Structure formats: structure tokens, C-alpha cells
């Protein structure tokens, strides 16, 4: 890291900056006056970001632990699980010789909770919530979010959603067990599944709270980006992280309400006896009164959110990765405008591809023609992004620290998982692949592991900004190598299982001759999953240990980055900049532009005479 | 106790890792920063290349190793006529994506390695290249066009319903928690009306006995179909969503309560023929029952299976039915041995002759009766 020299940035901000008289109005920092307002009901975006992150880590741990339990069942179905009885209680059933096994209802509850938690609580709130909060004000040059109060409420609604979801794990009929997509009639009828009783009620309440949280956050992100950019920060000078967060928030704002409407009708069906989704059902020895509804309607409403949701998860990761790759390769991101346009294209297309989840659900096959077309068009902007990331590396001067490694790992995962999407998006192939392990492999790699890699890249990269210290690099690298190899070891073999036709969401495979060939492979996957899980514990330890004991940050711009967050003091208080707000004179990617001196030019540096903007 | 020990070991391991990494970080600081840092950086860059090579070799070797489970390579050839086009689409997509996969993964890790930080080096300032970007926008667009067009041609072909006047067999599969009921139309070739409100202990499908088309309908345990004849499966559900999934025939369709769906396919291989083709593969030349080494081998005991592929509750994994594909004459034999549910059970109980009408009268009614 020899090329880093610091400009006299304070002087620059003092000379060029914009005086908004912020500090005249905030005597004594009313936002952070005592313990409660600083750490709990904080309205400071940086603290809220940390709250989202730490809550996300908590949920990631719970969700991953669940996956380990159901992976044990899949990998070693014959084992004695009586030792889990202290934890799971009645969900471990003992036979006459004292051999314990996991109850199928609870297996399905674990699968359902794993999906719900990871998709919503970890990869939406934990990822987008953390980094949108942390980076939007810092990178656009704002004192805070447009509405710090809504921002605080956004976190606390998320927290409330978490409390409700967590409590659903302890109801006597068990948590909801009908899959994270919650298709009725299974999710609507307590007779159909014990988890569809109180567990489902809590699940629905929790997710409605969650959507409130997402909407409060989203409104704030959009308003802040559009209205609170500092002088000179035009849209085309914004870092790609901000573009990604902005578009993510727009997608969320347009799609989450549709989910709520879908849930509302489901609540009506469950509680008020309406028949939006239910028709001609005979269950539990009894013909029910519902006539005229359609379960397929729910699927349309659900996937109208559900598909954009995967982009809500992956776009922030893409933004983070673009930024991290550029900073540590010491190069401008390749094709900045193409990157922005591909984000916009992906966002637009994400709204007209939802029925590709429903090729085999009984919708008119003719309709599928359009959804195949639009779905496979998404491959084009996605490919452009991948090529641009790779081109960004070309001719760089790369530092392979943990953040950079995870960013590179993200690209590898996104390629591997994205390509299998081309199989599934083609309805012909989907006839065979739908609801098999091929789908499990595809979406875990492309939006599970890849999004996690993006998140890790972001955490390692901006950790100093959050806590004023660095995470341990040695453990970080160990974490990277283990997670990279381990994740592929878990999910790659699932492609083969899926191609062979094995359906997902099976409690065991030996009921069918056709699905019983992969015992050894399933055992291997389980072992790999345990190893990956152990490595994540190492990450968590590193994370918390470094908060207090990590290497201290001595330079406020340790990476030599151009963006505004690195012009704030190491211990940034509320308002981010102690004096004036910096003004912006160039785009965010002037790395290695000059042959002499520092290999980056901060956004706050005015253009030199005769210098052209990129 | 064991779990306590394990917990203790994990905690110990964590402490050790932290201490070791702390010491090594301190040591590297003492031994002089930059050279050491660059060396470490080099090592990591090399690690990425080693990973790339190992990863690609393993993916290709494992794909070859599992080729017998891939569509259309080993014993799992499609047993239906339309299945071939699914397998074909799978394979051309596999080739197209396989090439892109190798090229991009190599480029990613190799370019990263080449561009590792070096003393005194400065990165290139390249912000964009319109020509290059046009090329790599157009190239995937062309490939996608090809895949979309060929995919959709196959799709519309496979999903086409039977045409009027076409010769086909219609059967009905009804999913419930947790199993399938299968109904054959009987000599009139037409399935009778049913109503979920009529379901009772003696009438599990809710067949409407006032509809004469129901009188010859048969309920069977095993799906038996003649080879080479078009089958239209009407798929319904009594309670929640299920999915009628025949992996060997590349057939999959949701069973939706209140909305009958259908899938049309033509079996192309009899069970006996499929067993013969399995016989050539080592993994099927093992005893079907591990406890009985001299008994039937796996290929001999093979049967086509019907499974559920839409989560439907705690017994989702157990909704198995057997499917047997036979020659036309064997099918006729089998069919003649089946008796109508109405004739065998309902008629005597009801003792009501008024329900009996000439079943051929309503034969002009088309296939759907709900």
C-alpha cells in the first residue's frame, strides 16, 4: 500500500465545502446524548446500520443453524438424534429403543424458517438495510437520512418482525412449515399442516411488520439519494453502490406492497372465511365451504414481489462488489454507464418475469412464452455486468485483502449460479428441473452465497468506517478460502442430484427408487455444510473481537479511496463531517489517473486546469 | 457431556486461531511491512489460480463422473416422446453455458492473478471501451435468442393439448394428503362428473352417480399405460397443491384444488424395455435389497414412479405410485380385468336401478366434465 498519501482534505473541505450551518443547530448533539439515544433508539444512520448488521448476523446464525439440523437429517437419516432433544424437545421423536429422529413436520418447519429468515431478515434487512444506511448519507455527502425518525422506526419494525418470528418458533403447534413461499391452501388451512395454525398467523404478522420496515427504509433511501446529495454530486457522479441502493429501494417500494396485499387476502381467507385462494377443498374428512378462489392468484401476487425480491437481494451486493473491486484494483470500474444501465434494465425486467416461477403451476402455457423471453433477456445485462467486473481487474494493481477476495468470489459465484438460471428460465427445461435440487443449487449459489459474498466484501471493506478498527486479516482470509471452497462443495453436487430428478423439500429420499441413489453425496454435502457453518462462527468471533481489539485505524482513508465516506473523521459523530459538507467535483472512480503522486483522486478534488472528467 | 466437550473444543479452537493470527500479524509487522505484504499478496494471488484450476478440473471431472444421471447421457433417457426435446434443450444449454462458464472463470481468476499488486506498478486508467462493450452485449443476446426460440418451439409443442378427433387415453390423477388416486374412464373413454361435496367414505373422489359416465369409471392402484399411445392426464387435487411428477417421462404439472390441469404425453418405452437398458449399467447390477444378495437386481426391480413435486405437508416425500408401461395387447388385457367402482361397490349398496342409464347416450359430451 505504498501509493497512499493523504491530501490535506480538511483544508479542501474548509475552502470548497458547503456550509449548511448544521452544527449551529445541533448543540450538544441531541441525537446522541445518552446511552439509550446513542445505542438503542438511535436516529444516527451509522448506528442504525450497525443495528441492522448485528441483528442480521444474529438471524444468519439462527438460519444457518437450522440448515445444519435439516442437513443432518438429509445426510444421515439413520442416525440417532436423541442428543438434539434438549434443544428441539417434542420435535425429536424417540422410538422404542430410544433412537431419536427428527419429526417431518419440524423438518419442514426448519426448511421454511431457514428460507424466510435468510431471504428477508438476513439478505434483505441485514444486507440492504446495513449498507444503504451506512453508505447512502456518507457517500452522497449528507448529514443523515432525510428522515432519521423514519429510519429509526424502520429498524424497530424489523426488530418487532424478528421478535414475532422468533416467538413463532415456540408455539405448541410449531412454526409455519409450508415453505417460505407460503402457497395456499397449505398455508391457509390449519387442518393441512400443524404449522399453518398459530405458527402461520405469527409468520404473517411478522412479515407485515417487516414490509413496513422495508418501506420506511426505502422511502428514506430514495429521498436521501434524490434530495440530499451534496453540491456537485450529480447522479452520474454517484458511486455504483448508491445507484444499486437507490434502484433496490425503488424495486422494494413497488413490489413489497403487492406482497402485503397478497398476504392480506390470505389473512381474510384464514380468518374471515373468504375464498380468494381456496376452492373445492375436502380435507380432514370434511368438505369446506370455499368455492371459486384460485391458489394460482396467490402465486401471481407472491412472485410479483418474490422475483424482484431476488434483485433486492443481489443488487446491493453488486453495488458493493463494483466499489470494492474498483478500490482494491486501483482502477476505475469498467463501463460505469453500462453498469448503471444494466442495473436499470435488470430492475425493469425484474417486474415482468415473475411467472417463470409458475411454468408448472397450471397457468396457461401460452403465457409462459412471454415470461421465457423476458427472463432470458435478463441474461444480457447480467452478462454485461460480469464482463465489466472482469475487465475492471484487467491491468489493475490488485490488493488481495479479505474484502477484495470476497468480491472476486462474488463474481465467480454469480457466474456459476447465473448460468444455471438460463436452464431454469427456459420453460422447456423447467418441466424437468422445476422444484428439483437443481433449483436449490441455482438460487443458493446465485442469490444466497453470492449475496453473502457481497455482504462479506462490504463488511470487511467498511468495517473500519463502522468501528474505527480493522478485522483480523488472517482470519478473514481463512474465512474466505473455507467459505469459497466449502460453498461450492455444498451446492455444486446439488446440480447433479437435481438433474437426476430428485425433488426438493423431501424429508427423505429412500421412498423412491429414482431418488435414492445419492446417499453418499448427501452425506458429503452435509459435512461440507457443517464446515462452512463452523467457518462462519469464526467470522462472527472475528467480527465481535475486532470491535474492541482489532487493529486501530490510524489513517482516515486507509484504502486510498475516492469516495466521500473516507473524508469523514475516523470517529465520525452525528452529522458525519465536523465542519462544512464537502462538495464534489468529479466521479467516484479516478483511480490511477495520474502518473505521479497518489494513485487516486478524491471526489472532493477540483479538476485541474485542462483536466477532463473521465 | 459429549456436546459440552465439543463446545469446549470449538471454543478452544477459536481462541487458538485468534492467538495464532494475532501473533503472525505482530510478527509480520516486526519483520518489515511492505515486502512481506507483497509476498503475502503474491501468495494469495497464486492461491486464486490454484483454486481456479482445481475448481474447473473438479467440476468437469465430476460432471463426467455423474454423466449417467444427466439427461440423455446414461440410463436415464427419456421414456416419453416429448422428453427427447427437453433433454436436447438441456444439452445445448449445457454446452453454451459450459463454454461461457470456463472462459469467464478462467478470465476472472487469471486476470486477477496477473494484475496483482507489484512494487512501483500503476494500474491502467481504462474507464470504458464502447466497441468491446457492444460485442459483449451482442454476443449473449445472440445466444439467448437462439435458446429462447428453440426452447419456445419445443415448449409449445410439448404443452399443446390433444386435438379434436385425435386418438388418446384420458386418465385422471387426484392428489391428496398424502397419496394419489387414479381414475380410468372405462369403456366409454369419458371421465364422469365429480363434486368435492359428494366425497364420503364410500366415494373418495366425490363422483356424481347421477352422471352415467361415472358408472364405468375405474379406480386403479397402479397406472398402466400402453406404449406409443397418447395419454392426457387430468390432474386434480382434493385438498392442497400437489404436483404430478413422472421423472422418467419428463412430466410435471401442479395439481390445483378447484382447477383441473392436464399434461399430454406419449410413453415411448415399456417398463421391460427400460429395465433392459438399465441392465448395461454397473450401478444397476447390484441387488435391489442389500440384505438379499442373491435376489433381484436393481435393474430387474426397476419401476417407473409417480412422485409429488409441490410441498404439500409433512408427508410430501411419500406420495409414491408405480407406473407400468406395457404393450397395447397387455394393456387391453389389464384393462379388461379392472372393474368399475360403481359396479363393484356402489350399485349393490344403493340398489337403485334408477341411477342406471345407457351410458353411451352422453358420449358426445367432451372430455371436461367439471
Q: pLDDT (tens digit, 9 = 90+) per residue, B248-271?
A: 999 999 999 999 999 999 999 999
Q: Find the residue in B nearest to A379 (Cα).
A: B140
| Cell of residue A204, nine digits | 404473517
Return the pLDDT at A426: 95
Return the pLDDT at B17: 76
Under CATH, what is the fold of the domain A9-279+287-567?
Answer: Cytochrome C Oxidase; Chain A (1.20.210)
pLDDT band for A7, please (50, 70, 90 cuts): low
Average pLDDT over chain A, rounded to an integer = 93
Residue A104: CB partners within 8 Å, gap ≥ 6?
A507, B314, B315, B317
- Say how far apart CA A407 and CA A522 lie, in whole Å: 29
Q: Are residues B184 and B70 in the same domain?
A: no
Q: Are residues B151 and B201 in the same domain?
A: no
Q: pLDDT (tens digit, 9 = 90+) per residue, A233-286?
A: 999 999 999 999 999 999 999 999 999 999 999 999 999 999 999 999 999 889
**Residue A566 gets which letter from DSSP?**
G
How many Cβ atoms from other residues are within 10 Å of residue A244's Cβ? 31
- Say how far apart CA A557 and CA A464 lie, in whole Å: 10
- Say how far apart CA A85 and CA A91 lie, in whole Å: 8
Of B59, B148, B258, the CB nearest to A372: B148
The 8 Å CB, 24+ separation contacts for B284-288 are B284/B75
Q: What crossing angle do the helices spanning A519-549 and B2-30 adopt, rounded to 10°?
A: 50
Q: Are residues B268 and B305 in the same domain?
A: yes
Q: Are residues B154 and B176 in the same domain?
A: no
Q: Are residues B153 and B185 in the same domain?
A: no
| Chain A residues with CB-CB distance to B247 below 8 A | 432, 501, 514
Residue A579: CB partners within 8 Å, gap ≥ 6?
A10, A13, A14, A17, A19, A23
Q: Are residues B52 and B97 in the same domain?
A: yes
pLDDT band for B354, please (50, 70, 90 cuts): very low
**B307 contacts A515? CB cut-off 8 A:** yes
Q: Where are the domains of chain A?
A: 9-279+287-567
Q: Are residues B252 and B176 in the same domain?
A: yes
Q: Taking a C-beta distance cutoff of 8 angstroms, is the pair A263, A345 a contact?
A: no
**A395 contacts B253? CB cut-off 8 A:** no
Distance, in angstroms, between B257 CA and closest chain A CA?
6
Mean pLDDT, rounded, for B79-88:
94
Q: pLDDT (tens digit, 9 = 90+) per residue, B134-190?
A: 999 999 999 999 999 999 999 999 999 999 888 999 999 999 999 999 999 988 889
Interface ipTM > 0.85 = yes
- Say how far apart CA B107 and CA B110 lie, in whole Å: 5
Distance, in angstroms, between B89 CA and closest chain A CA?
7
Locate all alpha helices (DSSP H) within A330-401, ordered by sequence. 336-349, 365-377, 379-393
pLDDT band for A609, please (50, 70, 90 cuts): confident
**A400 contacts B93? CB cut-off 8 A:** no
Return the pLDDT at A62: 96
pLDDT at B349 over 80: no
**A379 contacts B140? CB cut-off 8 A:** yes
High-pLDDT (> 90) share of chain B, %: 65
| Chain A residues with CB-CB distance to B10 below 8 A | 534, 537
Q: Taking a C-beta distance cutoff of 8 angstroms, is the pair A509, A520 a contact?
A: no
Q: Are residues B328 and B220 in the same domain?
A: yes
- Say how far apart CA A159 and CA A171 lie, in whole Å: 19
Of B89, B241, B247, the CB nearest to A186: B241
| Optimal mutation site among A275, A282, A488, interface B, most CBs of chain B within 10 A | A282
Return the pLDDT at B355: 47
Q: What is each CA distance from A449 to A117, A422, A480, B215, in whole angstroms?
A: 15, 18, 12, 56
Q: pLDDT (tens digit, 9 = 90+) per residue, A325-355?
A: 999 999 999 999 999 999 999 999 999 999 9
Q: Find the residue in B nearest to A588 (Cα).
A: B127
- Say how far apart CA B56 and CA B110 lie, in whole Å: 13
A66 closest CA partner among A97, A45, A87: A87
Q: pLDDT (tens digit, 9 = 90+) per residue, A26-72?
A: 655 556 677 888 888 889 999 999 999 999 999 999 999 999 999 99
Q: Taking a C-beta distance cutoff of 8 angstroms, is the pair A85, A188 a contact?
A: no
Of A379, A398, A589, the CB nearest to B116: A398
Q: What is each CA distance from B108 to B34, B115, B137, B162, in whole angstroms?
A: 26, 11, 18, 49
Q: Are residues B135 and B210 in the same domain?
A: no
Of B90, B309, B312, the CB nearest to A186: B312
**B317 contacts A104? CB cut-off 8 A:** yes
**A473 contacts B241? CB cut-off 8 A:** no
Of B112, B238, B311, the CB nearest to A178: B311
- Say how far apart CA A28 and CA A17 lie, in whole Å: 23
- Say how far apart CA A380 and CA A189 lie, in whole Å: 42
Indicate the range of A463-472, A601-610, B42-51 predicted with least confidence. Answer: A601-610
- Say how far apart CA A120 and CA A180 lie, in whole Å: 10
| Cell of residue A177, nine digits | 412449515
Q: Taking a C-beta distance cutoff of 8 angstroms, is the pair B370, B258 a contact?
A: no
| Optimal mutation site among A106, A197, A236, A429, interface B, most CBs of chain B within 10 A | A429
| Chain A residues with CB-CB distance to B66 below 8 A | 496, 499-500
Query: Is residue B32 assigned to a domain?
Result: no
**B25 contacts A472? CB cut-off 8 A:** yes
**Residue A98 gets which letter from DSSP?**
S
Query: Is residue B27 assigned to a domain?
Result: no
Residue A539: CB partners within 8 Å, gap ≥ 6?
A456, A475, A479
Q: Find the residue in B nearest to A181 (Cα).
A: B311
High-pLDDT (> 70) share of chain B, %: 90
Q: What is each CA distance from B328 to B168, B193, B225, in whole angstroms?
A: 13, 28, 8
**B151 contacts A428? CB cut-off 8 A:** yes
**B48 contacts A179? CB cut-off 8 A:** no
Per DSSP, the residues of B265-311 read E-B-S-HHHHHHHHTTSGGGSSBSSTT-TTS-BHHHH--EEEEE-S-
- Say how far apart CA A307 and CA A85 lie, in whole Å: 37
Domain harbouring B334, CATH code = 2.60.40.420
**B258 contacts A291? CB cut-off 8 A:** yes
Of B71, B256, B307, the CB nearest to A512: B307
Of B123, B197, B308, the CB nearest to A396: B123
- Say how far apart CA A130 and CA A138 lie, in whole Å: 13
The 8 Å CB, 24+ separation contacts for B97-105 are B97/A419, B97/A420, B97/A422, B97/A423, B100/A415, B100/A419, B101/A415, B101/A416, B101/A419, B101/B59, B102/B56, B104/A386, B104/A387, B104/A390, B104/A415, B105/A412, B105/A415, B105/A416, B105/B52, B105/B55, B105/B56
Rg (CA), chain A: 25
Mean pLDDT, rounded, for B23-41:
76
| Chain A residues with CB-CB distance to B239 below 8 A | 185, 189, 192, 281-283
pLDDT at B368 over 50: no
**B148 contacts A432? CB cut-off 8 A:** no
pLDDT band for B287, please (50, 70, 90 cuts): confident
| Optimal mutation site among B241, B275, B297, interface A, most CBs of chain A within 10 A | B241
Q: Taking a C-beta distance cutoff of 8 angstroms, is the pair A117, A165 a contact?
A: yes
**Residue A82 gets which letter from DSSP?**
G
Q: Are residues B311 and B228 in the same domain?
A: yes
Of A362, A474, A508, the CB nearest to B256: A362
At residue B344's C-alpha, the angle toward residues B341 and B345, to 5°, is 80
Q: Find the residue in A nearest to B314 (Cα).
A: A105
Q: Find the residue in A nearest to B40 (Cα).
A: A400
Mean pLDDT, rounded, for A283-291:
92
Q: Is A341 exposed, middle or buried (0-12, 13-18, 19+ CB in 10 A)?
A: middle
Of B115, B155, B302, the CB nearest to A428: B155
Q: Taking a C-beta distance cutoff of 8 angstroms, is the pair B19, B86 a contact?
A: no
**A391 contacts B309? CB cut-off 8 A:** no
Q: Is B11 exposed, middle or buried (0-12, 13-18, 19+ CB in 10 A)?
A: exposed
pLDDT band for A165, please (50, 70, 90 cuts): very high
Q: Find the residue in B nearest to A404 (Cα).
A: B112
Of A287, A336, A429, the CB nearest to B128: A336
Three-state secondary structure call for residue B259 = strand
Handedness of CA A8, A11, A12, A18 (dihedral sign): positive
Q: What is each CA distance from A524 to A101, A249, A436, B322, in whole angstroms?
A: 20, 39, 19, 30
Mean pLDDT, rounded, for A132-143:
95
**A282 contacts B238? CB cut-off 8 A:** yes
Query: Is residue B211 assigned to a domain?
Result: yes
Extended strands (E) in A236-297: 282-283, 286-287
Q: Taking a C-beta distance cutoff of 8 angstroms, is the pair B233, B173 a contact?
A: yes
High-pLDDT (> 90) share of chain A, %: 85
pLDDT band for A404, please (50, 70, 90 cuts): very high
Return the pLDDT at B202: 87
**B256 contacts A361? CB cut-off 8 A:** yes
- Say how far apart CA A515 and CA A108 lie, in whole Å: 19
Instruction: Please count the residue pairs, one from chain A and one from chain B, whose beta carbons lie less than 8 angstroms apart.
Output: 369
- Say how far apart CA A383 and CA B96 lie, in whole Å: 13
**A475 contacts B25? CB cut-off 8 A:** no
Per DSSP, the residues of B104-140 read HHHHHHHHHHHTB--TT---------HHHHHHHHHHH
Q: Which domain holds residue B140?
A: 39-117+131-159
Give how many domains chain B has, as a whole number. Answer: 2
- Say how far apart CA A77 and CA A368 lie, in whole Å: 38
Q: Taking a C-beta distance cutoff of 8 angstroms, is the pair A131, A49 a contact?
A: yes
- Say how far apart CA A577 and CA A21 lie, in whole Å: 12
Of A287, A377, A420, the CB nearest to B197: A287
Q: Taking a C-beta distance cutoff of 8 angstroms, is the pair A536, A478 a contact?
A: no
At residue B280's C-alpha, the angle toward residues B277 and B284, to 5°, is 90
Distance, in angstroms, between A398 CA and closest chain B CA?
4
- Say how far apart CA A265 and CA A285 lie, in whole Å: 25
Query: Is residue B4 assigned to a domain?
Result: no
Return the pLDDT at B359: 44
Q: Are residues B243 and B336 in the same domain?
A: yes
**B314 contacts A507? CB cut-off 8 A:** yes
Distance, in angstroms, between B179 CA and closest chain A CA?
13
A196-200, A513-517, B31-35, B67-71: range with highest mean pLDDT: A196-200
Mean pLDDT, rounded, for B90-109:
96
Q: Are residues B153 and B207 in the same domain?
A: no
- H or E, element range at A307: helix A295-329
Per DSSP, the residues of A114-138 read HHHIIIIIIIIIIIIIHHHHHHHHH
Q: Find the residue in A nearest to B158 (Cα).
A: A428
Residue A456: CB partners within 8 Å, gap ≥ 6?
A402, A403, A406, A479, A480, A483, A539
Distance, in angstroms, between B272 CA and closest chain A CA?
16
B283 closest CA partner among B296, B265, B297, B270: B297
Per DSSP, the residues of A179-204 read TTTT-TTTTT-TTT-GGGTHHHHHHH
| Chain B residues with CB-CB distance to A186 below 8 A | 240-241, 311-313
Return the pLDDT at A571: 84
Distance, in angstroms, between A3 CA and closest chain B CA?
8
Amino acid at each position: 500500500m505504498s501509493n497512499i498519501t493523504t491530501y490535506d482534505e480538511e483544508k479542501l473541505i474548509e475552502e470548497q465545502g458547503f456550509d449548511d450551518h448544521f452544527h449551529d443547530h445541533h448543540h450538544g448533539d441531541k441525537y446522541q446524548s445518552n446511552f439509550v439515544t446513542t445505542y438503542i433508539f438511535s436516529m444516527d444512520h451509522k448506528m442504525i446500520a450497525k443495528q441492522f448488521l448485528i441483528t442480521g448476523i444474529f438471524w444468519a446464525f439462527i438460519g444457518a443453524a437450522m440448515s445444519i439440523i435439516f442437513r443432518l437429517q438429509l445426510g444421515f437419516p439413520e442416525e440417532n438424534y436423541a442428543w438434539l432433544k434438549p434443544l428441539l424437545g417434542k420435535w425429536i421423536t424417540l422410538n422404542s429403543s430410544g433412537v431419536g429422529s427428527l419429526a417431518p413436520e419440524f423438518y419442514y418447519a426448519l426448511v421454511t424458517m431457514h428460507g424466510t429468515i435468510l431471504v428477508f431478515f438476513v439478505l434483505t434487512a441485514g444486507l440492504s438495510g446495513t449498507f444503504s444506511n451506512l453508505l447512502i448519507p456518507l457517500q452522497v455527502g449528507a448529514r443523515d437520512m432525510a428522515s432519521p425518525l423514519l429510519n429509526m422506526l424502520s429498524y424497530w419494525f424489523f426488530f418487532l418482525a424478528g421478535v414475532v418470528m422468533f416467538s413463532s418458533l415456540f408455539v405448541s403447534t410449531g412454526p409455519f412449515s409450508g415453505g417460505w413461499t407460503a402457497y395456499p391452501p397449505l398455508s391457509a388451512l390449519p387442518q393441512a399442516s400443524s404449522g399453518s395454525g398459530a405458527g402461520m398467523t405469527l409468520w404473517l404478522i411478522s412479515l407485515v411488520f417487516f414490509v413496513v420496515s422495508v418501506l420506511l427504509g426505502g422511502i428514506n433511501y430514495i429521498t436521501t439519494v434524490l434530495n440530499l446529495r451534496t453540491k456537485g454530486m450529480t447522479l452520474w457522479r454517484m458511486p455504483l453502490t448508491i445507484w444499486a441502493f437507490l434502484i433496490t429501494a425503488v424495486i422494494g417500494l413497488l413490489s413489497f406492497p403487492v406482497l402485503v396485499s397478497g398476504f392480506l387476502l390470505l389473512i381474510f381467507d384464514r380468518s374471515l372465511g373468504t375464498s380468494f385462494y381456496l376452492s373445492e377443498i375436502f380435507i380432514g374428512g370434511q368438505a369446506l365451504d370455499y368455492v371459486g378462489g384460485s391458489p394460482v392468484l396467490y402465486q401471481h401476487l407472491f412472485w410479483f414481489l418474490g422475483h424482484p425480491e431476488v434483485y433486492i437481494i443481489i443488487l446491493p451486493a453488486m453495488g458493493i462488489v463494483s466499489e470494492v473491486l474498483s478500490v482494491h484494483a486501483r482502477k476505475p470500474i469498467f463501463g460505469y454507464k453500462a453498469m448503471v444501465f444494466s442495473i436499470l434494465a435488470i430492475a425493469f425486467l425484474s417486474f415482468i418475469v415473475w411467472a417463470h416461477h409458475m411454468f408448472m403451476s397450471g397457468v396457461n402455457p401460452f403465457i409462459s412464452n412471454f415470461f421465457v423471453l423476458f427472463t432470458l433477456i435478463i441474461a444480457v445485462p447480467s452478462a454485461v455486468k460480469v464482463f465489466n467486473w472482469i475487465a475492471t481487474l484487467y491491468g489493475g494493481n490488485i490488493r488481495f485483502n479479505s474484502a477484495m477476495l470476497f468480491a472476486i468470489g462474488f463474481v465467480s459465484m454469480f457466474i456459476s449460479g447465473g448460468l444455471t438460471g438460463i436452464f431454469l428460465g427456459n420453460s422447456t427445461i423447467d418441466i424437468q428441473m422445476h422444484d428439483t435440487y437443481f433449483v436449490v443449487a441455482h438460487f443458493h449459489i446465485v442469490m444466497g452465497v453470492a449475496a453473502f459474498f457481497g455482504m462479506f466484501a462490504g463488511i470487511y471493506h467498511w468495517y473500519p468506517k463502522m468501528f474505527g478498527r480493522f478485522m483480523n486479516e488472517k482470519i478473514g482470509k481463512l474465512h474466505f478460502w473455507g467459505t469459497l471452497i466449502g460453498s461450492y462443495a455444498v451446492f455444486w453436487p446439488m446440480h447433479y442430484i437435481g438433474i437426476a430428478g430428485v425433488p426438493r423439500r423431501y424429508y427423505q429420499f429412500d421412498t423412491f427408487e429414482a431418488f435414492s441413489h445419492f446417499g453418499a453425496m448427501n452425506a458429503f454435502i452435509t459435512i461440507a455444510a457443517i464446515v462452512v457453518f463452523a467457518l462462519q462462527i469464526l467470522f462472527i468471533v472475528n467480527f465481535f473481537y475486532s470491535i474492541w481489539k482489532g487493529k486501530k485505524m490510524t489513517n482516515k482513508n486507509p484504502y486510498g479511496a475516492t469516495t466521500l465516506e473516507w473524508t469523514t473523521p475516523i470517529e465520525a459523530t452525528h452529522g458525519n463531517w465536523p465542519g462544512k459538507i464537502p462538495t464534489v467535483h468529479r466521479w467516484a472512480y479516478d483511480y490511477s489517473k495520474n502518473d505521479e503522486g497518489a494513485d487516486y483522486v478524491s471526489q472532493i478534488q477540483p479538476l485541474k486546469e485542462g483536466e477532463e472528467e473521465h | 457431556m459429549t456436546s459440552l466437550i465439543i463446545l469446549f473444543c470449538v471454543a478452544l479452537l477459536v481462541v487458538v486461531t485468534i492467538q495464532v493470527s494475532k501473533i503472525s500479524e505482530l510478527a509480520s509487522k516486526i519483520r518489515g511491512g511492505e515486502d512481506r505484504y507483497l509476498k503475502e499478496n503474491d501468495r494469495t494471488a497464486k492461491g486464486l489460480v490454484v483454486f481456479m484450476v482445481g475448481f474447473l478440473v473438479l467440476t468437469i471431472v465430476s460432471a463426467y463422473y455423474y454423466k449417467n444421471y444427466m439427461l440423455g447421457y446414461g440410463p436415464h433417457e427419456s421414456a416419453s416422446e416429448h422428453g427427447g426435446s427437453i433433454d436436447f434443450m438441456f444439452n445445448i444449454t449445457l454446452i453454451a453455458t459450459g463454454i461461457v462458464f470456463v472462459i469467464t472463470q478462467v478470465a476472472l481468476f487469471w486476470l486477477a492473478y496477473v494484475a496483482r499488486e507489484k512494487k512501483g506498478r500503476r494500474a491502467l486508467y481504462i474507464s470504458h471501451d464502447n466497441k468491446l462493450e457492444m460485442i459483449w452485449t451482442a454476443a449473449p443476446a445472440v445466444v439467448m435468442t437462439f435458446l429462447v426460440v428453440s426452447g419456445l418451439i419445443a415448449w409449445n409443442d410439448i404443452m399443446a393439448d390433444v386435438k379434436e378427433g385425435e386418438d388418446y387415453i384420458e386418465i385422471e390423477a387426484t392428489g391428496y394428503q398424502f397419496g394419489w388416486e387414479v381414475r380410468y374412464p372405462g369403456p366409454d373413454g369419458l371421465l364422469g362428473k365429480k363434486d368435492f361435496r359428494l366425497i364420503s367414505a364410500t366415494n373418495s373422489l366425490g363422483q356424481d352417480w347421477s352422471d352415467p359416465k361415472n358408472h364405468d369409471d375405474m379406480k386403479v392402484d397402479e397406472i398402466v399405460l400402453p406404449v406409443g399411445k397418447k395419454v392426457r392426464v387430468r390432474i386434480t387435487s382434493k385438498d392442497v397443491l400437489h404436483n404430478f411428477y413422472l421423472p422418467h417421462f419428463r412430466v410435471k404439472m401442479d395439481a390445483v384444488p378447484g382447477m383441473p390441469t392436464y399434461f399430454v404425453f406419449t410413453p415411448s418405452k415399456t417398463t421391460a424395455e427400460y429395465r433392459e437398458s438399465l441392465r448395461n449399467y454397473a450401478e444397476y447390477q447390484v441387488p435391489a435389497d442389500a440384505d438379499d444378495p442373491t435376489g433381484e437386481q436393481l435393474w430387474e426391480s426397476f419401476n417407473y414412479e409417480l412422485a409429488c413435486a409441490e410441498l404439500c405437508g409433512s408427508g410430501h416425500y411419500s406420495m409414491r405410485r408405480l407406473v407400468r408401461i406395457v404393450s397395447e395387447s397387455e394393456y387391453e388385457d389389464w384393462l379388461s380385468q379392472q372393474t368399475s367402482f360403481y359396479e363393484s361397490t356402489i350399485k349393490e349398496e344403493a340398489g337403485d336401478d334408477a341411477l342406471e342409464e345407457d351410458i353411451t347416450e352422453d358420449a358426445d359430451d367432451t372430455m371436461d366434465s367439471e
